[in-house]
Amino acid sequence: MAEETLTKPANLLPRLRRGLADSVGEALEVVLRLAEEEGRTLYLVGGGVRDVVLRRGHVDIDLVGEGPMASLAEKAALVLGGRWVEHRAFGTVTVEGQDFRLDLAMARAEKYARPGALPKVRPASIDEDLDRRDFTINAMALALCGRERGRLLDRFDGMGDIAGGRVRVLHDRSFIDDATRILRAVRYETRFGFGIEEKTLALLKRDLAYLDTISGARVRHEFLRLLAEDEPEQSLLRCQELGVLAAIHGALRFDDELAAAFRRTRRAGRAAPQPEVHLALLGTRLSPADAEAVALRLALSKRQRQALEGAAALAELVSWLSRADARPSQVVERLESYPLAAVEACGLLAQQSTAKRMLRRYLGKWRYVKTSLDGRALARLGVARGPAMKDVLRLLKAARLDGQASSREEEMKLVRGVLEGTVELPRTGGGEG
């Protein structure tokens, strides 16, 4: 890291202020003034300090002070015409208005009764609050008001690690206490172009098995945060290399081909939401049974699970899609029952040009094809409502897709043919193939 990012603490306050939207900066001033009136010091902590040092645009305002925060938040909300919400279980309060949000927390110490458990917390000093944190780069505090204003608390040389580009834990039990930090370490490494410091890396590898102590919801939360980064494929390749994916679930894996597909997802024109496409891409490497197990391990939401499992099931269909003689209507009938994210993932990965073309045409065109005649029009022509009508609609859609009908008139001609018995209806239950 270049020398100039090493920053004198005195420069951090003005830089913080410059990095904030006016509405947030003004709300912060009010909170700080009220805190000062109470004779208290508030600190910017965690990722906020790190991001000011690194001059990263948007800074989350996480404030910590010693003692309860509720009365301060209440006063601030009153002055600012905003609202305040207390999250008692976490000892935190949020003050928010239309265009600002500030999180205030009471400084606390944490004790882990057992690995992976949510920690027992007690009120503590700001120093102890820093001691409980994950990495040195996230364990700094910048005093924003009071006598200490402008002072940087940096008990673990976070500044040195930022300058040296290192992700380093504070103590040897960090990953045991909270194995989600394994995913966090990799995420920061990629995001900042840092390296996991040598001893930390050894601890990370030693403690991989502790991922088993983490609930599905917590692993999912950190996993999805990793996927939401700018270049998640870098983190996933690293996770693969370090054995992190296998520690989450034995069948989960990542490779260069998936990495290339991840990069392709960033080009314009995606049909499904990015996290679902990412999960679907991971799903293409899993058997249907493993996909189900991974979805369970990560406690995925219904849509996320469908994307992952759908892609696992669809992978088997891809070789069928490379048959040059598959008709568009057959392709649509088969693909329609799969989540869009799964189809998209297979399209991003398909090597074989026919399959690739089929998947792209399905996504870009065929899935939008509609018939001109609807149920009411068919009823007027004398088609009975019920299964027969469904079959006629399928026939018309297939005709549209396969180029046998391109106008309302041609559809009507087909319907007349069905009614007269000269056109055969497709058998219910999908096309042959």
- Give me the residues that bind ligand CTP (CB under 6 A), please: 46-47, 60, 133-134, 138-139, 178, 180-181, 184
In whole angstroms, the minimum distance from the beta carbon of 48 to ligand CTP comes to 7
Comparing CB distances to ligand CTP, the nearer of 184 and 394 is 184
In whole angstroms, the minimum distance from the beta carbon of 191 to ligand CTP comes to 8
Cβ-proximal residue to ligand CTP, closest one = 47
In whole angstroms, the minimum distance from the beta carbon of 240 to ligand CTP comes to 21
| Rounded-to-integer distance, Cα 38 and Cα 40, Å | 5
Comparing CB distances to ligand CTP, the nearer of 180 and 235 is 180
In whole angstroms, the minimum distance from the beta carbon of 127 to ligand CTP comes to 14
Least Cα distance to 167 among 141, 188, 153, 191 occurs for 188
Comparing CB distances to ligand CTP, the nearer of 36 and 229 is 229
SS3 content of the chain, % helix, strand, coil (to 5): 55, 10, 35
- Which residues touch 345 (CB under 8 Å, ≥6 apart)? 261, 277, 280, 281, 283, 284, 307, 311
| Rounded-to-integer distance, Cα 119 and Cα 111, Å | 5
Is residue 11 within 8 Å of residue 49, measured between CB atoms?
Answer: no
In whole angstroms, the minimum distance from the beta carbon of 107 to ligand CTP comes to 12
In whole angstroms, the minimum distance from the beta carbon of 192 to ligand CTP comes to 10
| Rounded-to-integer distance, Cα 209 and Cα 211, Å | 5
Comparing CB distances to ligand CTP, the nearer of 47 and 82 is 47
In whole angstroms, the minimum distance from the beta carbon of 113 to ligand CTP comes to 16
Comparing CB distances to ligand CTP, the nearer of 184 and 297 is 184
Q: Which residues pair with 121 in a beta bridge?
A: 110
- Which residues touch 329 (CB under 8 Å, ≥6 apart)? 397, 398, 399, 401, 402, 431
Is residue 262 within 8 Å of residue 281, measured between CB atoms?
Answer: yes
Comparing CB distances to ligand CTP, the nearer of 50 and 297 is 50
Comparing CB distances to ligand CTP, the nearer of 190 and 304 is 190
In whole angstroms, the minimum distance from the beta carbon of 119 to ligand CTP comes to 10
Q: Which helix (H) or strand (E) holds 128?
A: helix 126-131
Comparing CB distances to ligand CTP, the nearer of 204 and 346 is 204
| Rounded-to-integer distance, Cα 138 and Cα 167, Å | 9
| Rounded-to-integer distance, Cα 240 and Cα 256, Å | 11
In whole angstroms, the minimum distance from the beta carbon of 353 to ligand CTP comes to 40
| Rounded-to-integer distance, Cα 44 and Cα 48, Å | 6
**Three-state DSSP class for 324?**
coil
**Three-state DSSP class for 87?**
strand
* CA torsion angle 322 325 330 335 (round to 10): 10
Comparing CB distances to ligand CTP, the nearer of 103 and 309 is 103
